Each structure stands twice: as C-alpha cells, then as structure tokens.
Structure 1
Amino acid sequence: MTYVKEHWKYLTSAGGYPGIDFLRATAVLLVAFFHFKILPIGWIGVDIFFVLSGFLIGGIILDKVKAGTFSFYDFYKKRALRILPIYYFIMLLCFFLKAGGVFDFVGLKSIVSGMLFLQTTGPYFFPSFFAINEAYIPGGSWSLVIEEMFYLVAPLAIVLVSYLASKRMWLILIALLAAFISGIAVRMAMTAGFAPDDASWHFASFIQFHSRYDELVAGVMAAAYLRFSRDVKGQSSWWIAAGIALTFLFMLYIVGKPEFLAKPFMITRDTIWLPTLLGAVGACFVLGIYWVPLQAKPIVLLARLSYPLYLVHILFFEITNRYSEVGVLKWMLEAFTYQGRSIVLISVCTFLSYLVSLLVEYPFIRMYKTNKDSARETVAAVTT
C-alpha cells in the first residue's frame, strides 16, 4: 500500500516547469484523439513531444556540463531505466496480441530490430536486409527511434559544443540555431531523387532521425535561451504571440490541403519545411508558458502518464479495431456514437497506462530517484 501511495505521489507531483506538464498532457491527448479519429490534426502532438524532449533533456545536459558533473554513464543508465522497461513490455504484448505468438525468422529479425530501435532506420538504409513485420513492433515506435538517436547524439554534441565555446551560452545558441536551420537542407538532400508523388517522401523525410532532429534541436535551443536570457518570463507574451502566429500559418497550410487531414502520410514535398515550422511553434510555446502554474492534478497526471499512455493507446486501438465486431466492443459500436466510443476507450487506455506505470515503469524510476538532481530527471519528457 505504501508503494501505491508513493507511486501516486509521483504521478500527481508537479515538475519544475508546470507549463511543460500542460504541454505534455496536451500532446498525448492530441495523439490519442488522432489515432481514435476524433481530431485529424492531432498528429502534431508528436512534434510537441520532440520539442519538449529537447527542452528537458537538453536542459539537463547543459546544466550538468556547466557544473562539470555530467556523466555519460549516468545519463545513459537513467535513459535506459526510463525508456526500456515499458517499451520492451509493450513489445512483449505485441508478440502475443498482434503477432499471435508466432515466432519465425522474419519475426526474430523484427523483434531484434525493434529492441535495438532499428525498425525504421534499418529498412531505410538497408532495405534488402531489414524485412520488418509490423505485428511485432509497437505502433508509433518510430518516434522512439528518433528519441533514442537523439539520446545517442545530443550528449556528445552538447559536450563538444560547450567545450569549443568555453561554455559561453551565446556561442552555444548560435551553434544550435545553425543545427536547427540545417534540418531543411538535410531533408532536401535525402529526398533529392524523389518524384513529386513518390510515397517514399513520408518514410524518408518524416519518420527518420535525420528528418526530424531539428524539432529536438528547437527544444535544446529553447533550453539554452532560457539559461542565457535574463528575463524570459517577462518575454512570455511575445513568445506566445509568435507561437500563435506560426500556428496560424500552419493552419492556413493544412486547411488548404484537406487531404492531409485524412491521410497525413500523403504529405510529400511539404515535409522539407514542415518539421522546421512545427519545431519553431513548439519552442515559442515552451518559452511562453514553461513557468505558468498549470498544476491541476488531472494535467499533472496525464503528463506523468504520457509515455505509457502513448504506447498503450496505440496497441489498444489496434486490438480493439481488430475485434470491433465482438462482444462489448460491438455493443459499444451500436450504443455510442463513434466519438463517444472513442472517449470511453481512451479513458480505459488511461487506466491501463496507470497500471503499466505502477507495475512496470515506477520500479525502475525508483532505482535512480535518489537525489535532487535525478528527481528533476524523473519528470523529464520522453516520447513519446
């Protein structure tokens, strides 16, 4: 019982940046509403997650590098304890619930690829070798591949840039800005030989690390700016206004292309600049509301459950879709509107995510929740 209370306290304790909790809760709801077909534009929740991860993880690295206490071993150990238990647990559920417990050579390659976070990078660079059966892979895990690549690259890059810049934050900001802008050039280079209607645009330029790293860099840049500027809080209204203006530009674009609302995977050339725009939107809102005391318990709870809820709701959606004409699911389909049924299922997913957090996630979090520094990392954003 003490353990359950301790876990509940973790789930309902606001982080150091209360506005970030609000953005995390918003992001996971957007993604859930998208997958359950309530909000067609909800896929931008993943873009928000990338910026938040860059902001929180990048900020932790910057602080520890500046203090001279950064440890690669500690960083990767804590990331592994935070990410892997839930991810591997969902992979196990996929094996039994999606793949039916079938174990063949393709299944083995898929499982190993998934465990090493190579399920998208592998087929892109080595298509003849990586034959992936999606039944063995957690849905939405392409975003975790991007996150893991960021965790591999970011510490090395930030430590190196900080050393070369002699820890002068304005030089670090310039380097981050250059990395952020480079995202457009990299996407152009990686898709230079694609025909305008080639379906590979989305795979090559929207779900790979080299195609989304600028959104994570945008978050790191926001973290660096917060540590460089003397009065970011006083600038909040300007940052929020900039975020609203950029969001308005994005909405003009998306309204003009209604087919992307129904099938965002059809986006082709637009993927060259779209992540850069969404990264800028996220960074502006992060700097605008990071301090705002949005600490209602439901918000904090959703923020803490965002990682398990992200993976659980996609698997749950896939399974319930498969058996939508059976038993209680069939009754719900007949008794509720589609939106009403989706809200009920998302509520069930939230409860299941609580159980996953209680039984799978939190035991590992306790392993590194031992001092003030790691307590801050406990509430760091992970995607998603």
Structure 2
Amino acid sequence: MAATYFREHWRFLTTEGQMGGLDILRAIAVSAVFLNHFNWLPAGWLGVDLFFVLSGFLIGGAIIDQAEQGRWSYGRFYWNRALRILPVYYLAILAKAALIGFPLSDDLGTAFASIASAATFMQTSVIWYFGWGGADHNFIPGGSWSLVIEEYFYLLCPLLVVGTWQIFRSRLALLVVVLAACIAGPLVRYYANADYPPDDIWWYFSAWLQFRSRFDTLAFGVLAALLVRMHPPSWLARALLFAAGMALFGAVLHYLYHSRMWVLSGQTTRVFALWGPFLLGAAFAGVLVGVYKLRCRSTAVVIVARLSFSIYLFHALLQEIYGAYFAQTWPPAFEWIKSLGSLDTTLLFVAATLVVCYLVSLLVEYPFIRMYRKPAPVPVREGSPSGVVLAG
C-alpha cells in the first residue's frame, strides 16, 4: 500500500499538466521569487504578479466552465480550495511559530493574536479594518500577504462571474464585467492611496499589499481564460499575443531598472503603484495565452511547478530560520554553513527547500489533494484548470 502511494505521488509530481505551458510559467514564477530573495535576480518579486495572472486564468476559467455547464457549487468550490490551501499553509504557520516565534518572542497575547490573524488571512487587513498594527511577524509566514489577496479573489470572483452568468446567460456580458474589473484597477488605486505619500509605511501597505491594489492583475487572468473560450486563438494569434506581452513586460522592466524598485519592491513609486499591476496583468496575460498550449517536456520543470506552493512558503521559512539564528552560537556540526559564499549558500537552500517541500507534498499536501481529485490508475496528463491552485 505504501509503495503504491509513493508511486502515485511521484506520478503527480512528474506528470505534465493538460496545459504544459502553464507548468513552465509556474516554475518560472516561483524560481524568480526564490532567486530574488537570495539577491540573485533583481525585480524577481514580479513572479508574484505572474502567479496572480496564472491563478486568475486557472480558477477563473474553472468557475466560468462550471457556471456555463450548470455544475457550479459554492460549497464544493470552497471545500476544494480549503483542501488545497489550508493544510500546507497552516503547517507553515505552525512551523514558524514553533521554530522562530515562541523561541524568540515572550508576549503570548500578541503571539496568539498574530497566529489567529494569519490563520484567518487577516494579517494585512487588520491594520485597516480593526486598527491593530501590533502583529508579531515571527508568527506570520513570509510572503503570505499574497495568499490574503488570493483569498479575497476566491470570495469575490465566483460572485462576479457566476452572478453575471446567472443573470445574463451571455459570454459577452461576462466579457464586459471582467473588462470593467481590469480597467477599474488604476482608478481604485488612485482614490484608495491618495492620502498616503510614498515612503510612508502606510503607503506601502495601502499601495502594494492589499487586494484593492492588485485585483486587476488577477482579473486579467480571468479575462484571458474567457477570451480563449470565446475565440480559441490560432498559433499566429498566440505568437502575436506572446510578442506583445513580452514587449509590454520589457517596457515595465525598463521603467523598473531606472527606479528604486529594481532592487526593493517596498520602495514603491507612485506611478508604478498606480499602473504597475494593470500593465503587468496585461503583459502576463498576453504571454500566458501565447504559451499555454505548449508542452512541458522537462520533468524537473514539472516537479518545480507541482511543488511551487510549498516552495513559495517554505523557502521563505528556511531563510527566516537562517536569519533568526545566524548570529547565534550554532552547534559545531553546523558551523561550516557560516563560511559558505553566497552561491554555495543559495545552492544549499535550493537543496534544502526541495527536500522539505517534497516531504511536505508527500505527507501533507497530496493526501488532501486526493480527497477531491481522483488518483489516476495509470500515468496520464494531469492538471485540469479546476485542479490546480496557485498561491504567490
């Protein structure tokens, strides 16, 4: 029985999805974030925006399909999202609390309040809605702000898409609504952030870490999903959209290269905070439509894509553990780590992250995935739009 489970899990990790191009983009996105955190790839934090577009495309497309086919169920949707997201995410919360939070913090009240805010995806929202700014980040997984944005998307996208379909029964009406969501992004940001000057910490939280600041990036993913269903693009159309998306992305990179955001996304400029998510959403949507039908023939890339959610959370945790205890007196068996150069340190973290994430996938993630996705008895191409969730 155990051997069968191991083989089944390995097929899950190594089998290309129905849209292999998305596996490639998912692996690129998580690799960009990883390398950025180790100072090897300036502006690699843009991988999070690519995750948002991928999530909009996959989840939005699944919602559209189920609504049109009369199979939509809010209960089933949120149950599947919970099974996919919560086990790994809650493990990351518990691991950070046990390994960093409780050993280094002595305010139990703030500790448990911080854990509660993270567990309910309120770590970036309590500041605005409850006036509480005293979170202890030793208990909150690094990068989890993007999961908050994803959760808002899971709450609001079904209401928008399913509600529009049930009222109008028209893809054209859906197109108008989704386009309006994309266009509304800069306008919402303009009014939401008008009271916060750049370089103020409140500006950063308001302009960059809130759902209202990034929802149009997700909406462009939904738009791409709708358009490929309305008018499946020819190879020439996909090539032109890919070229247009890369050109727009190149223009964004050119701007960032000459701004303070090239190295640190926290130094958000007013212009980029207003237009950046919109432009990135449009650029990545074009790239996505250009490549989504490609095959992914690299097993290594597929594995990274399957482990992307765990990699996103646990590479940050390993880095935080390293940072928290680097200045401490380490056990003699680990003192050699301090003498490593930056490249060797990064390679060590790559190896450690892959081992940890494989174990997380094997022991925690995949058992819950099996609860809503029937295991394949023989090797097949997996990864239907409704079966994959991206986190950031």
Scaled to the shorter chain, the TM-score interval is over 0.9
Moved more, 73-82 or 241-250: 241-250
Which position in structure 2 is the counterpart of 1:382? 390
Distance (Å, rounded) in 1 between the aligned partners of 2:325 and 2:218: 37
**Deviations 1:100-131, CA, capped at 9 Å, x for gaps:** 2556111111111111100001112322x353
Shift of 1:196: 4.0
- 1:146 paired residue number: 149
Are 1:353 and 2:357 an aligned pair? yes
8 Å CA contact retained: 1:198, 1:268: no
In structure 2, do the counterparts of structure 1 residues 189 and 353 end up closer, same or farther at CA, with 3 Å as the change threshold? same
1:22 paired residue number = 24
The equivalent of 1:284 in structure 2 is 286
Point out the more displaced range, 172-181 or 190-199.
190-199
Measured on the aligned residues, the alpha-carbon RMSD in Å equals 1.8
8 Å Cα contact 2:43-2:264 kept in structure 1: no
Q: How much identity, in percent, do the aligned residues show?
A: 39
Given the alignment of the two structures, is residue 368 of structure 1 paired with residue 372 of structure 2, yes or no?
Answer: yes
Instruction: Report the equivalent of 2:8.
Output: 6
The residue number in structure 1 matching 2:167 is 164
Q: Which runs of 5+ in 2 are unaligned?
A: 377-381
Distance 1:314 1:194 in 2: 29
User: Which amino acid counterpart does residue 264 of structure 1 have in structure 2?
Assistant: S
Please say if 1:116 is aligned against 2:120: yes
Distance 1:330 1:267, change over 3 A: farther
Match of 2:196 in 1: 194
User: Which stretch of the first structure deviates more once superposed, 191-200 or 291-300?
Assistant: 191-200
Q: Residues 149-203 of structure 1: CA distance to partner in whole angstroms, max 9, x if unpaired? A: 110111111101112331x223312211111010101111111112244332221
1:66 aligned partner: 68
The answer to whether the 8 Å contact 2:36/2:43 transfers is yes
Is residue 332 of structure 1 aligned with residue 337 of structure 2? yes
Matched residue of 1:148: which SS? Answer: helix
In the aligned structure 2, how far is the partner of 1:317 from the partner of 1:5?
31
Consecutive unaligned residues in structure 1, runs of 5 or more: none
**Residue in structure 2 matched with residue 99 of structure 1 by the alignment:** 101
**What residue identity is the alignment partner of 2:116?**
V
* Superposition deviation, residue 279 in structure 1: 0.8
Q: C-alpha distance in 2, partners of 1:304/1:221?
A: 24
The amino acid that maps onto 1:27 is A
Distance (Å, rounded) in 2 between the aligned partners of 1:105 and 1:368: 37
Provide, for residues 26-75 of structure 1, a one-character-per-residue CA deviation record: whole Å limited to 9, x for no partner. 00000110112211211001000000000000010100111000111110
- Name the aligned partner's letter for residue 336 of structure 2: W
- Normalized against structure 1, the TM-score is what? 0.94
Superimposed CA distance per residue, residues 351-384 of structure 1 (whole angstroms, 9 cap, x where no aligned partner): 1101001011111111111389x96257413212
Does residue 176 of structure 2 align to residue 174 of structure 1?
yes
Tell me what 1:293 maps to.
Answer: 295
Distance (whole Å) between structure 1 residues aligned to residue 326 and residue 12 of structure 2:
35
Q: Deviations over 1:291-328 (max 9, x none)?
A: 01123111111110000111000000111122335356
Instruction: Give secondary structure in 2 for the equivalent of 1:100.
Output: helix
Aligned residues: 379
Mean CA deviation greater in 199-208 or 74-83 = 199-208
Amino acid at match of 2:238: S
Q: Does the Cα contact within 8 Å between 1:78 and 1:368 map onto a contact in 2?
A: yes
- TM-score, length of structure 2 as denominator length: 0.92
Query: For 1:188-267, what aligned pairs fall within 5 Å after superposition?
Result: 188-257=190-259, 259-267=260-268
State whether residues 180 and 276 of structure 1, in contact with CA within 8 Å, keep that contact through their aligned partners in structure 2: yes
Would the alpha carbon gap of residues 100 and 197 (structure 1) be closer, same or farther in structure 2, given more than 3 Å must change?
Answer: closer
Distance 2:53 2:182 in 1: 12
- In structure 1, the residue matched to 2:140 is 137
